Chain A
């Protein structure tokens, strides 16, 4: 039963992706692809080359081209930068480094927190030892009186 539910869920998720691949819309491609001269997505750009790219996408969609085909053709003519992937150098490197760095830092913070927590638990367990081991010695007067009381009690 669980397998069937999982399979149906996977199918439900895969269907739109497949439809998008087979029959891409103008809007989704304009939102995902980047104008090479102004470096914004096509839907936000009105530069001459962006207009040319939009017209090209419209024509290729009407010809039945898939999303991957259109993207590949644009990459061939321009470069992979039209796919909107940040450069792997300079300040743009942050787009790649920050998520990975964030995961690393979060991991370290978690490990540190776990270590501190385990330390505090160990410290908390100390009182379970016999009190005599940790308690300060009685002063001699009090000691003498306790002995007297115990002797009287025994008598």
Chain B
């Protein structure tokens, strides 16, 4: 009986330990929340394969440049809405060395290709089929846009819906000043 009691206690302790460990090692990032509070925080890792062609995009390799990181998917209505605005902004800011990268998450590759063709997207797109980067960045919905300064830090604003031209320009200017 004593053995059974000890075993039950051990099981409960083990379950509690597992729960604590899960919470402690949770991938959920506080990046989005911190940026929304006006803080400047280090950008999480972003290493993903390009949607078309070989190679991998690594955010860390773009240190020294402002990077606009846009999370999207072909099935997302807001993404369709902002596609033209983002595309135009990427062309306008290219001469200033600003890099745009679209992270296609939880999406069909072919559907994403059709979306890119339809909207004539001119900046680099990377694929994150499982959505493994969402937690690290604190993305809770699509589309969402982040601005990374030359030092690899995420600066406000963090755009939580279809981005407007004004929001994109404000984000880039803030990142360039940072």
Contact = CB atoms under 8 A, between A and B. Distances in A.
Interface of A: 36-37, 48-49, 51-52, 56, 76-79, 81, 89-91, 93-94, 105, 112
Closest 8 CB pairs of A and B: A79-B130, A90-B22, A48-B75, A36-B106, A91-B22, A78-B129, A52-B75, A77-B108
A154 B130 CA distance: 102
Nearest to B106: A36
B111 interface: yes
A58 B19 CA distance: 39
B109 interface: yes
A36 B131 contact: yes
Contacts of A81: 130
Counting chain A CB atoms within 10 Å of each CB, the highest count among B77, B109, B129 belongs to B129
A94 B73 CA distance: 32
Nearest to B19: A91
Interface in B55-89: 73-77
Contacts of B130: 36, 78-79, 81
Which secondary structure dominates chain B's binding surface?
Answer: loop
Interface of B: 3, 7, 15, 18-19, 21-22, 25-26, 73-77, 106-109, 111, 129-132
A51 B130 CA distance: 17
B18 to A, nearest CB: 6
B140 to A, nearest CB: 11
A48 B19 contact: no
Contact of A37 (B22, B74, B77, B106): B106
B171 to A, nearest CB: 25
Nearest to A38: B106
Contacts of B18: 90-91, 93-94
B25 A90 contact: yes
19 contacts: A36-B106, A37-B106, A48-B73, A48-B76, A49-B106, A49-B107, A52-B75, A52-B108, A52-B111, A76-B129, A77-B107, A77-B109, A78-B106, A78-B129, A81-B130, A89-B25, A90-B25, A91-B19, A94-B18
